[in-house]
Structure 1
Amino acid sequence: MTGQELTPGRALDFTQASPARTYNALLKGRTAYASDREAADKVIAMAPDAGQVARENFQFAGRAAAWAVAEFGIGQVADIGVGVLDADIGLPSVEECVLRVALDARVVAFDNDPVVLAHARSGRSYGRVLHGDVTDLDTVFGNLELGEALDRSAPTVVVLAAVLHFVADPAAVMAELGRRLAPGSVVVLSHATTTDTETRRVDGMTKAYDKATSRIRFRSEEEILGLVDGWDMVAPPGLCDVAEWGLPEPHDGQVGEHVRVVGLVAVRPGRNDRGRER
C-alpha cells in the first residue's frame, strides 16, 4: 500500500522493496521478494508484533468500510492502495466485507505497484484493480479504465488503509479528496503513529524503509486527526487503535505493544444522496 509514483507499464523491479509487497511479507503472504522480506524482517526486529498489527489493520479496513456502506447506504467503494491479498493469508478483502452487507455495491481498487497490478490481472487478486496513485487523484477518478464504475456525483466510501504514512503531504491528499467527493462520502483511514510508540522503534522501522520505493513517516495522533479537519469524524469510536475500532461495540482485536496503527472513519459534511443532513 503505497503513494509512490509509477508510470503504467513500467518493467517490474524486484531489487527494491515496495510498501505493498513488504506489507504482504508482514502478513506472511507469498507475493513478496527478497528485498521486501528483508525490509519486513527489519520492521519485525524493531516491533515483534508488527505482523499482528498488519493483520489487525487489514481487518479494520474491511470492517469499517462495510459498516460505512451499511450505515450510510452508500453503494460504491474506492479502495486506494489495495496491496496484495494472497489466498493463503486467510483474511477477507475490503470487497468481500462490503459485499456481505450490500451485495449490489460496487468496489473498485487502485494501486500503483506493478506487482500488485500484475497479480490482479493474472486473476489471483480480488475484484477490479486499476492503476491509481493517491498522490495524483486524477489517476484514480480520471482513470480511463474506470468507466461508469464509480458515480462521481454520488457519495463514495474511500479506503486509505496504511497508505498516508507513505505520503509526504497527506493533508494535500485529504484536501483534494474533499474537493472531489460528493457530500456524504466517507473516508476510512489508518496510519502508523508516534504516539505511545518508543522513539527507537519508530526510528528503526523508518530506517527499514530507507531503500524502499516509498519512505514511511510516522505521525502523532494530533497530526493524524488534523488530516480530517473539516470532516465529521465518527465518534465513538473516534481515533483509536485499529484493533479496537468497531461499531456498535468496540472491537476486541489485539492491540500492538511495540508499534501502533490507529484508524478513524470520517464523513464529508453536507447532504448525501438520500437527502439526509450530516
Structure 2
Amino acid sequence: MAEESASALEHRRNGQAPLVGLSRHGPAREGRSPRPDHRRERRHAPGVARPAREGRVVTTPDLPDDFPPGLALDFGQVSRAGVYNDLLGGKSATAADRETAQAITAASPDAPAVARENFRFAGRAASWAVRRFGIRQVFDIGVGIVDDVPLDSVESCVRAVAPDATVLAFDNDPVVLVHARALRRGYGGVLRGDVRDLDTIFQNPGLAHPDLVGRIDLSQPAVVVLAAVLHFVEDPAAVMAGLRERLAPGSVAIVSHATTSHTGEDRVGAMTAAYERGASSIVFRPEEEIAALADGWEIVRPPGLVPVQGWSVDGTYHGEPYETVRVVGMAAVLPGASATVEVARGVG
C-alpha cells in the first residue's frame, strides 16, 4: 500500500476522508475523481478573435484554417474595411479606423452618404442581375466588415429575390474574415481571396467544401460584385480581363469606383492623402477610364455608368446628388449567353 502523505494522515486522524484532489468545487472524497475544472475547458469558438484593446497586436491560434499559423492581428493598424464600416455607420471600427474616416469626411462631407449609396447600389444591382438572368451564384469580393451596418447586404438583397441562391464572400484581410465567419451566418461561405490574384478566388480549395457541392459551378454564369474595390487596385484592367477569362458567358460584373470626374482636385487630393496617412492607397480615376475597364464586356444600358445613387435599370431609383465626392457604378455582362439585354459600351 502506498505511503500516505502527511496531509492525508492528518485528515484521517480527524475522522475525515483523505483528499485525493482539489478543484474549484472543493475537496474530492476518497475513491472519486475530482470534478473537472471547466474553466480550463473554455475556449474561444473557432474563427473568433480573442478580445483585444485597440492598438494591441494579438496572435491567436483560432484564425481560419487558410491563414498561416501564428498570424498576428494588429488592431492598431488602419483597415480599409474598418474605415468603410465607420463611414457606413457600423460599430466595428477601431480608433485608428475612425480617425481616418473622420479625415476623409473632413475632406469630403458627403463621404458617409456616398458610402451608404454605394452599399445600396451593390445589393440593388446584384439582386437585379440574379432576377433578370436567373443566376444562382454570387461572389462578393472584398466584402469588408458590414455585419453591424444598418443596411441590407448583398446577400440579403439577393436572397430576397432568389432564396435558393448561394452568395460567397471573399476578402484577404484576416480581421474581416474572423468577423464574417463568426457573425455572418447567411453567407454560403466566407473564403480568403485577393482580387489581385484571382486564382485565390476561383481555385480556392473552399469551393470544394461539401456544403458547396452542387451549389457552385464555374461553368455556369455568376454575378461578381466589386463594390468600391478596384480603386484600391493598381491595375484594375487586369482584374477585369482575368474575370473575363475565368467566368462563363452570361456572367455579370457589378463594379463601382471613385472618380475624379466632376470632383474638385483639392477634394480628391485631400481624400487620397487621408487614405495614405492610414497606410492605404486609393486611386480616383476619370469616368472614361472606369468605363474602359469593361473592355470585352457589355455595359448594361440603361443606365450605363452613372453615380451609384442613380443606378437602376428601370429608372425608378434616384438618390440625392453629391458634390464633394462621386462614386460611379455599372453592371457589365460577359457576352455569349443566350439571354438578351440592351447594352452599350461607354459612359451612360
TM-score relative to the length of structure 1 = 0.92
Give the number of equivalent residue pairs: 268
Q: Which residue of 2 aligns with 1:119?
A: 179
Residues 119 and 125 in structure 1, CA contact (< 8 A), matched pair in contact too: no
Q: 2:218 matched to 1:152?
A: yes
1:270 has 2:336 as partner: yes
The answer to whether the 8 A contact 1:50-1:256 is kept is no
Q: Tell me, yes or no, if structure 1 residue 37 matches structure 2 residue 98.
A: yes
Contact kept in structure 2, 1:197 and 1:258, CA below 8 Å: yes
Match of 1:140 in 2: 201
Counterpart-to-counterpart distance in 1, 2:185 and 2:227: 17
1:135 positional shift: 0.4
Alignment of 1:1-278 (within 5 A): 8-9=67-68, 10-87=71-148, 89-124=149-184, 126-127=186-187, 128-147=189-208, 148=213, 149-271=215-337, 275-276=338-339
Q: Which amino acid aligns with 1:58?
A: F
Post-superposition Cα deviations, 1:63-116, rounded to whole Å, max 9, x if no partner, equal 0000000011111100000111133x3101101000111111111010111111
Q: Name the SS for the 1:12 alignment partner.
A: strand
Q: Is the 8 A contact 2:135 2:222 kept in 1?
A: yes
SS in 1 for 2:119: helix
**CA–CA separation in structure 2 for the residues paired with 1:193 and 1:74:** 29
How much does 1:42 deviate?
0.7
The alpha carbon displacement at 1:8 in A equals 2.6
Shift of 1:129: 1.4
Q: Which runs of 5+ in 1 are unaligned?
A: 1-6
CA contact (8 A) 1:19 1:213 kept: no
- Mapped to 2, the partners of 1:49 and 1:152 lie a distance apart of 39
Q: Residue 41 of structure 1: CA displacement?
A: 0.7
2:261–2:286 contact (8 Å) kept in structure 1: yes
**Aligned-partner SS, 1:78:** strand
1:183, 1:213 → 2: CA distance?
A: 38
CA distance in 2, matches of 1:126, 1:242: 25
Alpha-carbon distance in structure 1 between the residues aligned to 2:339 and 2:308: 28
1:137 CA displacement: 0.7
Question: How far 1:209 sits from its partner (Å)?
Answer: 1.1
CA contact (8 A) 1:189 1:265 kept: yes
Cα distance in structure 2, aligned partners of 1:86 and 1:277: 36
TM-score w.r.t. the length of structure 2 is 0.74
Percent identity between the aligned chains?
58
The letter of the residue matching 2:82 is R
Looking at structure 1, the residues matched to 230 and 309 of structure 2 have their Cα atoms a distance apart, in angstroms, of 18
Shift of 1:213: 4.8
CA distance in structure 2 between the partners assigned to 1:103 and 1:51 by the alignment: 30
* Cα distance in 2 for residues equivalent to 1:213 and 1:101: 39
How far the C-alpha of 1:203 sits from its partner, in A, is: 0.4
* Corresponding residue for residue 10 of structure 2: none
AA matched with 2:67: P
Q: What is the alpha-carbon root mean square deviation over aligned residues?
A: 1.5
Question: Is the 8 Å Cα contact of residues 56 and 254 (structure 1) preserved in structure 2?
Answer: no
Give me the whole-angstrom Cα distance separating, in 2, the residues matched to 1:79 and 1:246: 19
Describe the shift of the 1:277–1:91 C-alpha distance in structure 2 as closer, same or farther (beyond 3 A): closer
**3-state SS of paired residue (2:255):** strand
Q: 1:3 corresponds to which residue? A: none
How big is each residue's C-alpha offset from its partner over 1:34-68, in whole Å with a ceiling of 9 and x where there is no partner? 11111101100010010010000000000000000
Measure the CA separation in 1 of the matches of 2:291 and 2:180. 33
Give secondary structure in 2 for the equivalent of 1:38.
helix
Mapped to 2, the partners of 1:252 and 1:203 lie a distance apart of 28
